[in-house]
C-alpha cells in the first residue's frame, strides 16, 4: 500500500555511471539496516543503499529513496550496471562488492 503525503523536498545524488542498468522491484521495511530516521520522525531507506544488507547477502543497490514509516514499500533495486561508488551514501562492504557480481563500481569522475 502506498501513502500520499504533503510535498517533501528530497536531495538525491546520481550514483549511476551509465544509463544502462537492470533493476527489479523488491520490498523493504523499517527493520532494514539502512533505515534513517529524520527530524520529522519519518523512516526512509536512502537511494544508493546496498540491498538487503551491506554484506555477502547483497543482491543490489536501491535506485530510489523509499519511506517505510507506514509499513513495507516496494523499491527498485539495481542488480546490473555501473555505479559511482563514491556517490553512494555508505561505501559497500568488500563482501558486498564481491556478492554484487553484475555491478561494476567505478570512482566518481568530474561531470
The domains of the chain, with CATH numbers, are 20-106 (2.40.300)
What band does 13 get if pLDDT is binned at 50, 70 and 90?
Answer: confident
Burial of 92 (0-12, 13-18, 19+ CB in 10 A): buried
pTM above 0.75, yes or no: yes
Q: What is the mean pLDDT of the chain?
A: 90
What band does 93 get if pLDDT is binned at 50, 70 and 90?
Answer: very high
Amino acid at each position: 500500500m502506498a501513502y500520499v503525503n504533503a510535498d517533501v523536498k528530497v536531495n538525491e545524488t546520481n550514483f549511476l555511471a551509465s544509463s544502462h542498468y537492470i533493476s527489479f522491484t523488491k520490498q523493504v521495511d523499517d527493520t532494514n539496516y539502512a533505515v534513517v530516521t529524520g527530524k520529522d520522525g519519518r523512516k526512509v531507506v536512502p537511494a544508493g543503499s546496498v540491498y538487503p544488507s551491506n554484506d555477502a547477502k547483497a543482491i543490489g543497490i536501491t535506485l530510489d529513496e523509499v519511506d517505510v514509516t507506514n509499513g513495507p514499500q516496494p523499491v527498485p533495486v539495481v542488480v546490473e550496471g555501473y555505479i559511482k561508488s563514491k556517490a553512494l551514501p555508505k561505501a559497500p562492504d568488500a563482501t558486498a562488492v564481491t556478492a554484487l557480481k553484475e555491478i561494476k563500481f567505478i570512482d566518481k569522475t568530474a561531470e
